[in-house]
Structures are given as structure tokens and as C-alpha cells.
Chain A
Amino acid sequence: MATAIAAQTHTITVLVDNRPGVLARVSGLFARRGYNIESLTVSITDNPNMSRMTIVVAGDADTLEQITKQLHKLIDVHKVFDYLDTPMLERELVLLKVQSEPERRAEILQLVEIFRGKVVDIAERAMVIEVTGGGDKIDSFEKQMEPFGIRELVRTGRIAMMRGSRTV
């Protein structure tokens, strides 16, 4: 059982059958039991019969314990992994369309460089920038872009993986 951790966010990985309706079962469980999802990402895996969900939830250790146990009760769920005390990598990706008057481009490009982002499209008065990284990094990149005028922004949910040779 997890030691006392205050309410915070946790990342969990859920391996599920790749079947219609599974997403509804998982998200329905969170909704009806009142667990707060901050983000949910579904993706394929190396096994065509399985999907991988990465879910970011807010809650204390007790809530996390309940979430894990209740998820296990869903027939479509094979594995739940909560990364507690496990070194991990977390990534998100943002596509950000920023106002870029010709005279401010250089300034923007410098910031993109610092964040190791990429310019993936450019027009006369706007460019689209792609940045990947942890949530904090992306938050702060967004902040840096705000003064230029963010015209549109889309951000993926979080995905996660253990460091080292172990697998979920």
C-alpha cells in the first residue's frame, strides 16, 4: 500500500483489450465513482489485441488504491500500473500556432530553440510550433508564447513509460 501522499496527481498506465466500448467502460467508471481525470490518452501497443491508456488522475493515496482496484474489476482491463516509487518518463506534445509578425520572428525562434521545439509550419503572420516534454515544460513554453499572441493550441494527454529495462 502506498505511503501517505497528499492529494496530488498520479499517472497510471492501463493495458486493456482493444475492443469497442472499452473506453466507455473506463471513463464511465471514473465518472460514476467521482474520480477526477486530468487527461486520458489511448494508444495502440506492440500487441494488436491490446490498447494502452495513460490516465492522469487527481487524488490521494486512498483514491489511487480504489481506482486501481476498481479498474482491475473491469473484465477488459489486463494490467494497471501506477508508477509509485518508479523512475519514469512522461511526455506530452503541444502544437501551438503563434502570431509571428516578421519583426518578432527571431525572438520566437530563440525561445523555440531553448525549448528544443520545432517550427512545423510557417505563414506570413503565424507559425506552428511543436514542443514535446513533461507537462511543466510545456506549461512554461505556453507562458513564453503568450505575449506574442497564441492563436490556437492543441495539446495531447500525457504518456508515460518506466525508465530502465522493466516494462509494464
Chain B
Amino acid sequence: MAKIKSTGAKALLESLRREGVEIIFGYPGGAVIPLYDEIYHCDFLQHVLVRHEQGGGHMAEGYSHATGKVGVCIGTSGPGATNLVTAICDAMMDSIPMVAITGQVRTEVIGKDAFQEADITGITMPITKHNWLVKNVNDLPRVMHEAFHIARSGRPGPVLVDVPVDVFRAIVEYDPDEVQNIEISSFKSDFKVHKVQVKRAAELIAQAKKPVLYVGGGAKAAGAEHLVQALAHKTGFPVTTTLHGLGTFPENDPLSLGMLGMHGTAYANLAVEHCDLLIAIGARFDDRVTGKVSAFAQNAKVIHFDIDPGEINKVRRADVSIVGNCAEALEALLPLVDETQDISEWRAELDAWRVDMPLEFNDGAQDGTLHAEWVIREIARLTDRNVVVTTDVGQHQMWAAQHFGMRSPRQFITSGGLGTMGFGLPAAIGASFGVGPDKDVWCISGDGSFQMCIQELIVATIYKLPVKIAILNNTFLGMVRQWQEMFWQKHYSSVDMERAPDFVLVAEAYGMLGLRCDNVADVEATIRKAMETEGPVLMDFRVVKETNVYPMIPSGQTVGDMIVRKPRQIEEPESTCHYEPRDTRMPVVDEVVDVAR
């Protein structure tokens, strides 16, 4: 194609068009006015005006989580850019492809502490895969395509392009086909799966007596759910998933052990504790999964599938590592595994644990109390699980992970690595734009988290999005309160959220239906009402105030320290764990290394 001439701003939009971008989430300001002027005239792009750049960032993430496409967000220079930081970091931690575009002050005043100047490429250097400050308009079209390429290739993640306001206005003459043909010699993302390693993995698999598949977000990113399922069904190996792996293996499958880790099921954690072969597929041995690393799956050989070579041997040494797209690797592995392997003894052991230590919940039938777990189970039942679920961060998040019973990948959208309160609502909005108006998106939130991005409610109203928000309102920063109860002698320091706005009135103020439910009898009617109502609905479920998430492996500890269920007596705690009983409710304070995330 011949060269064309346009402004930097127009060239930027042209690159978005060529990358297949249909929607962007942004907020204007002085440094991006030239870009917004082009957006004003643009006919192929939907721009969603958010109410806070952080919300825009999380919307881009939610959109990407739900669709696998690259999410795009915009902020102006200075505060607009810094407001994006949390969302960019969140996308980095959870490997979400995202392109953040920020305005910058005029090239000639950069470095002079100009009005609304922030060194956003400096600030986001550690939390992006790469970033650029584009000082020359001739570089802009190429950089934009490089940005998309890097965001989506290999291990996905966020990138940021910082554009000074004069560069948006400058004229560039370029060949748009040519700039799209990018080649970054120093960026390697297409690691070819090593056949020899696949063979070695098959050998380990053939020898295993007590194998477990440990499936993470990478399997979802690869679209490898069918291959994971095929592998499990061919071998009969049990499957546990991480928080981000939830849904890649349907939880109603008899081979499913549910989630592992700090708040995983007891049987998943026991399975990992006792296994002799751990097959990690797109999972990164996060500390919320491993606890004390030296005690994690101590007797197991490890096969590790990951597209990022840096993940291999980072936390746990792998006996066989397969670098590359796990879909490709699993495809190569499948013909090499045997379907007649007998692991029935192991399966029997697992079944015993399952029966012995199931996930517990209180349906309120006996005492009439309303529990968050029960609300989540009812949402799952009544929606037939045919919805997308987003969460915020805290107890409600863990209960959603435990009790919803995910069926398909990209169904469950949550902030895992960074644990960002405020993620749930904007992510639900972004996801809703991604999956379209025919699918409801349920945002399971907490009374604390919800207030962190509450301003985005209006976006759901304006676009009449089928976003159903269930606040599991325990009038506490529940997860922190749980830690204070269990490990800090009930010193409830700054976790009381009793004084809160009336969420039903808030809903009404933002132009949506608000419902309150404070007893078990009304749960079903409330959920049904929300389902029947078109557009967004906010539900305030007044749940029991002081309950804890179990099972729990205290931070940095081992499966032997797992607290399987609520202690029967609070004063004289009898051992709560069937397995290697040990009282760990008061660990040495030094051992509580991280704060509740």
C-alpha cells in the first residue's frame, strides 16, 4: 500500500482498527484532547467514558478476561496515568493482555516538572511487559503494533504507550501495511515444544502411582481446556485448579478436586501433599498455592508446562519442563499416554478424603442465619451457572471460588495475583461488553471492596448492562477480620464497616434497581427478581458478620497445618484437622509474614 499522511492521533486509531479493537475504556484530559478529537470522528470504535481511570483499566481487564482479546484503556497525563497504575499492575500479575495509552506533556517540556507531568514509563517499568515514550511521531504507528504484539504474545501482559500531546498533533507519513509487519528480533515468545521433553513427561506419567494435574490460568490463556479434559479422561488422573484455573476443568466432573491452596479444598491439598507426580499446566506455584515451598508436594516429581521460561525452576524445581504453549504440548503428549494405567488405589484414597472432609456450608435451614456461601450456591443454582462471575477481594471471593462450581473457562474473573479490591464491578462491566447483552454477568462483591470502584455503577446504568451485583455484606473487611480473629487475638483494628451507605439507595441514585435481602427465606426471590429485571441490579445481602473461610492453610505453612473446618469450641479448640492434628490457631507472630491480601 502507498504511504498515507495523517496526524499521530489518527494514526493511533488506525492501528487500533487494524488490530481489531472494537472498544476502549478511557477518560479525557488536556494531553489527550487531540486523541479524543479523533475518537469523536471515529466510526469503528466504541469509547466507554469511565468514571475513574482505575475503573477503565479494570474494565479493559474484565473485557480481556472474558474474551481473550487485548483490552485497551486511555488516561491523560499525570493523574490520569497514575490512576491506571493499579490496573496495569493487576494485569501484569494475572498475565492479562492490555494496552494502556497515556497522554504526556509536550515533548519540549518533558523533564521540567510541567503541569500534569508524571514519568509514567518510569513508574510502570516494573509492572509492564514493556513500555514506550514516543517522542517522534514517525515511530508511533510501528510502536502501536509492537505494543499489541507484545501484549498478546507468549505470556500475555500489559504494555503502555505514552504519547506527548504534540506527537498526537504532528503529521506522520507512513505505510500502514508496512508498520504492521513487525519484527522484534530481541523478543522471543514462540518457544517450540521440545519433543524429547514431552517423551520424558510421558515416561514419568507412565510410572506414576499417585498423580495429580495442577491446572492454572495458562491453560485458560492457551484455550487448552479440551486438551486438559482429554488428558484427565484418558489417564483418569484427578485434577485440581488454581484460582485462575477454575472452570478449565468442570467442577462437576468426578475427577475434579476443586481448587487447591490456602483456601482450597482439603482433599485437593491432601492430594498434592501425597502425590508422587505433580503435573503443572500453566500454573506458577504461587505462594497462596504452595504455602511453605520446601514442604509442598514433597514426595512428588514435577512436570511443568509453561510458556514463560522464567517460571521454570523459579519456585519449584521441575523434573521435566516443557516450555511453550501448553495446548501444543498437550497435543503432543496425549498420544503418548496410556489409558490403562491403574491408579484405582489412589483414587480410593482421594474419595475417602472427599467424604471425610467435604467443603462445609450453612444453608440456614437449622438456625435461620444467612450465609454468604449459601447465597453464592443459590446464585449458581438459579442461574444454572450459565453466567460470567466476577469477584472482588476477600472472603466473598474465596467463597465464590469454593462454592460456585465453575463449568467453563473464562467464566470466573477475579484478581488473584495482586488481589485488588475494587476490581469486581468494573471487571464485570468490561466482561459484559465482551460477552454481549445476552449473557448475565454476576459481580460477587464485598461491602468493603464494592466501595472502592463504586463510581462505575453509572456506566452499567447508561449502557443497560446485564450486570447483577451481589454485595455479600458482612459489615466488615471480613478477610482481614478473619486474620485478626485467628492470629491476632481478635484485635479488630480498623475492620469495622458498619457505617456504610445504604446500598439500595445508592443503586437508586445511580439509576438501577436496588434490593435488600436479610434472611434465608428471601434469597431465591431476590436472585430471581434480579434475573428477571433487565439491565443492572444491585443486591445487598446482609449476611452473618463473623464467619471464616475454611479450609485454611495459614500463610507460609503446610498442609499439616491446615484448619479444615470451623473449630467446634472457640475457647478450647479441639483439633480441627483430621490429618496430622496440630493446633495452629496461634502461630508465632513472626510466621505471619504477609498481611491479608
Residues of chain A at the chain B interface (Cβ within 8 Å)? 1, 17, 21, 24-25, 28-29, 32, 62, 65-66, 69-70, 72-78
CB-CB < 8 A to B185: which residues of A?
A: 78
Tell me if A75 and B188 are in contact (CB < 8 A).
Answer: no
Q: Which residue of A lies closest to B125 (CB)?
A: A28
Neighbouring B residues of A1 by C-beta, 8 Å: 313
- Which of chain B's residues has its CB closest to A66's CB? B314
A73 and B310 within 8 A (CB): yes
* Interfacial chain A residues near B585, Cβ < 8 Å: none
> Which of A1, A65, A73, A78 has the most C-beta atoms of chain B within 10 angstroms of its own C-beta?
A73
Residues from chain A with a CB closer than 8 A to the CB of B419 are none
Q: 8 Å CB contacts to A: which residues of B80-131? A: 121-122, 125-126, 129-130
In the assembled complex, which residues on chain A have CB atoms less than 8 Å from the CB atom of B40? Answer: none
Can you list 22 pairs linking A and B with CB atoms under 8 Å apart? A17-B186, A21-B121, A25-B125, A28-B125, A29-B126, A65-B313, A66-B314, A69-B310, A69-B312, A70-B310, A72-B188, A72-B310, A73-B308, A74-B130, A75-B129, A75-B130, A75-B150, A75-B184, A75-B186, A75-B187, A77-B186, A78-B186
Of A72, A75, A76, most buried by chain B (CB within 10 Å of CB) is A75
- Cα distance, A75 to B153, chains bound together (Å): 12
Measured CB to CB, the closest approach of chain A to B244, in angstroms, equals: 20
Complex interface: chain B residues within 8 A of A32 (CB): 126
CB nearest to B159 among chain A residues? A75
Task: Mark B residues whose CB is within 8 Å of A.
Answer: 121-122, 125-126, 129-130, 133, 150, 184-188, 308-310, 312-314
Known: A72-B188, A75-B130, A77-B186. A24 touches B310 (CB 8 A): no
* Interface contacts beyond A69-B309, A78-B186: sample of 18 additional A-B pairs, CB < 8 Å, sorted by A: A1-B313, A17-B186, A21-B121, A24-B122, A28-B125, A65-B313, A66-B313, A66-B314, A69-B310, A70-B310, A73-B310, A74-B130, A75-B130, A75-B150, A75-B184, A75-B187, A76-B186, A77-B186
Q: What are the residues of chain B within 8 A of A66 when measuring CB–CB?
A: 310, 313-314
Q: Assuming the A-B contacts A73-B308, A75-B184, A75-B187, are A62 and B130 also in contact, with contact meaning beta carbons closer than 8 angstroms in the complex?
A: no
How far apart are B445's CB and chain A's nearest CB, in angstroms?
Answer: 31
Grouping DSSP codes into helix (H, G, I), strand (E, B) and loop, the A interface class, with mixed when no group exceeds half, is helix
Shortest Cβ distance from B127 into A: residue: A32
- Taking CB atoms, residues of chain B closer than 8 Å to A69 are 309-310, 312
Return the chain A residue nearest B311 by Cβ.
Answer: A69
- Distance in angstroms between the alpha carbons of A17 and B308 in the assembled complex: 22
Name which residue of chain B comes closest to A15, CB basis.
B186
Q: Provide the residues of chain A in CB contact with B313, threshold 8 Å.
A: 1, 62, 65-66
Give every chain A residue within 8 A of B125 (Cβ-Cβ). 21, 24-25, 28
A2 → chain B closest CB, angstroms: 11
- Bound-state CA distance A32–B124 (Å) is 13
Q: Closest Cβ of chain A: how far from B384's Cβ, in Å?
A: 42
**How far, in Å, is A45 (CB) from chain B's closest CB?**
14
Q: Which residue of B lies closest to A73 (CB)?
A: B310
CB distance from A24 to the nearest CB of B (A): 7
Instruction: Determine the chain A residues whose CB is within 8 A of the CB of B184 once the complex forms.
Output: 75
B136 to chain A, nearest CB (A): 12
Chain A residues positioned under 8 Å from B314 (CB to CB) = 66
Residues of B within 8 A of A21 (CB): 121, 125, 133
Residues of A close to B308: CB separation below 8 A: 73
Report Cα–Cα, A65/B184, bound state, in Å.
24
Q: How far is the CA of A128 from the CA of B310 in the complex (A)?
A: 46
Give the residues in chain B near A72, CB-CB below 8 Å: 188, 309-310
Closest to A20 in B: B133
**Contacting residues, chain B, for A75 (C-beta < 8 A):** 129-130, 150, 184, 186-187
Q: How far is the CB of B527 from chain A (nearest CB, A)?
A: 44
Shortest distance between the CB of B587 and any CB in chain A (Å): 25
A73 to B186, CA, bound (A): 9
Residue of A nearest to B185 (CB): A78
Closest 6 CB pairs of A and B: A69-B310, A75-B130, A78-B186, A69-B309, A75-B187, A32-B126
B187 proximity list for chain A (CB < 8 A)? 75
A25 to B572: give the CA distance in the assembly, Å.
54
A25 vs B186: C-alpha distance in the bound complex, in angstroms?
15
B156 → A minimal CB distance (Å) = 13
The CA-CA distance from A72 to B323 in the complex, in Å, is 14
Return the chain A residue nearest B321 by Cβ: A1
CA separation between A78 and B184, bound complex, in Å? 10
Least CB distance from B459 to A in Å reads 34
Docked complex Cα distance between A67 and B318 (Å): 17
Q: How far is the CB of A43 from chain B (nearest CB, A)?
A: 18
Complex Cα gap A76–B130 (Å): 9
Q: For the complex, what is the distance from the CA of A21 to the CA of B188, rounded to whole Å?
A: 20
> Least Cβ distance of B509 to chain A in Å?
42
Residue of B nearest to A25 (CB): B125
CB A48 to nearest CB in B, in angstroms, measures 16
Residues in A with CB closer than 8 Å to B133 are: 21
